[in-house]
Amino acid sequence: CKRNFISFICLSLGTGSNILSALQDLFWLLKSKVEKQLQIISVLQWVLTFLIMGIACTLILMYILCTDCWAIAALYLAWLVFDWNTPKKGGRRSQWVRNWAIWRYFRDYFPIRLVKTHNLLTTRNYIFGYHPHGIMGLGAFCNFSTEATGVGQKFPGIRPYLATLAGNFRMPILRDYLMSGGICPVNRDSIDYILSKNGSGNAIIIVVGGAAESLNCTPGKNSVTLKNRKGFVKLALRHGADLVPVYSFGENEVYKQVIFEEGSWGRWVQKKFQKHIGFAPCIFHGRGLFSSNTWGLLPYSKPITTVVGEPITIPKIDNPSQQDVDFYHSMYVDSLIKLFDKYKSRFGLPETEVLEVN
């Protein structure tokens, strides 16, 4: 690299360019390289957080309890018991954390964009249905748990809450990290609290397909698990929260996955994990840390564009019937398909591409 830089300067001087111009060009070249490395680091820290932070922090806390610094761990555990129900009550978000510069590098690695199609009233509450899940829901995290793509500016007065597995909030340290970004448990207690006791202007983002959908995500495939997912519609009816379809183009492109066929031993293991633990183990890979031509945990730098659709006005029905749920669920599915069809060609898909609804 040093030899290349020296050659670059000599070539510039030899063609009549002045020293200042050569140094400026060299500065921008170096800056570009540094920014790329920062983007990789920012994504890597999130991937490691997603995969191992909860277990790692639990083990570290147990180790500290066995050392001379046991009082620190004991104090944290006492705080944990006192603070146990906070995630169920909207959490404890931090605008400082949501505005960290690291999230802008995270955004630019892919890059990730958020597209607004309609205004949202601050006098209403909302449930966003996010599709597809992908391997890690990278678009959902970046767009709604950080301010990197300007969700606060695009939807002023709206507080987004990204809902994820409740088990994550039983992990020390990880729970606090997640809450700082406005992430909450995807369970009835938490959602009921936010939609009924937290005023208006709340938007809960639910990755509707969940673990089942993640098992089928692969590059080039646009499919969602939605036909039998109606619980979010029932919640919307009980609270009179408007439904908003959201589709993230490119979410399935950033990782490659081994897809097990239905009836295979691999799919059987995945479904057992999903049923008893809440998530399904996937065999996937991205690119390596130092080269995009090797396998690793880093996602491929493919663009992710998240389009927030038109809200569907939902009436408040304390005890909605199955007929009510089916009616508004059908409206939601139709709205999602229309959103996909309207924007697919703008983001690299052919006009013949069809959204598969399972």
Q: How confident is the model at residue 275 (pLDDT cuts 50, 70, 90)?
A: confident
Q: How confident is the model at residue 250 (pLDDT cuts 50, 70, 90)?
A: very high
Alpha carbon 348 to its chain's center: 21
pTM of the full structure:
0.88
Tokens 């006098």 belong to 123
Task: Specify the length of the chain in residues.
Answer: 358
Sheet holding 284-287, edge to edge: 256-257, 284-287, 295-296
Q: Stretch 161-176: mean pLDDT, rounded?
A: 94
Q: How confident is the model at residue 20 (pLDDT cuts 50, 70, 90)?
A: low
CA distance 133 to 146: 18
User: Collapsing DSSP states into helix, strand and coil, what is residue 284?
Assistant: strand
Residue 276 has pLDDT above 90, yes or no: no
Burial of 263 (0-12, 13-18, 19+ CB in 10 A): exposed
**Stretch among 13-17, 54-58, 211-215, 243-247 having the lowest mean pLDDT:** 13-17
pLDDT of residue 206: 97
Domain layout of the chain by residue ranges: 42-357
Residue 46 has pLDDT above 80, yes or no: yes
CA distance 5 to 130: 46
pLDDT of residue 27: 62
**Over the stretch 54-72, which tens digit does the pLDDT of each residue have?**
999 999 999 999 999 999 9
Residue 23 has pLDDT above 80, yes or no: no
Q: Stretch 180-184: mean pLDDT, rounded?
A: 96
pLDDT of residue 9: 47
pLDDT of residue 215: 85
Residue 54: HSE in the Cβ half-sphere, 13 Å Cα cutoff: 11
The kind and range of the H/E element at 256 are strand 256-257
CA distance 106 to 118: 26
User: Between residues 76 and 28, which one has the greater pLDDT?
Assistant: 76
Q: How large a percentage of the chain has pLDDT more than 90? A: 76
pLDDT of residue 258: 86
pLDDT of residue 108: 97
Give the orientation angle of helix 54-65 with respect to helix 70-82, to 10 degrees: 130
Q: How large a percentage of the chain has pLDDT more than 70? A: 90
**Over the stretch 283-310, which tens digit does the pLDDT of each residue have?**
889 999 888 888 999 999 999 999 999 9
Average pLDDT, whole number, for the chain?
Answer: 90
**Over the stretch 192-201, which tens digit does the pLDDT of each residue have?**
999 998 899 9
**Over the stretch 104-119, which tens digit does the pLDDT of each residue have?**
999 999 999 999 999 9
Q: How confident is the model at residue 212 (pLDDT cuts 50, 70, 90)?
A: confident
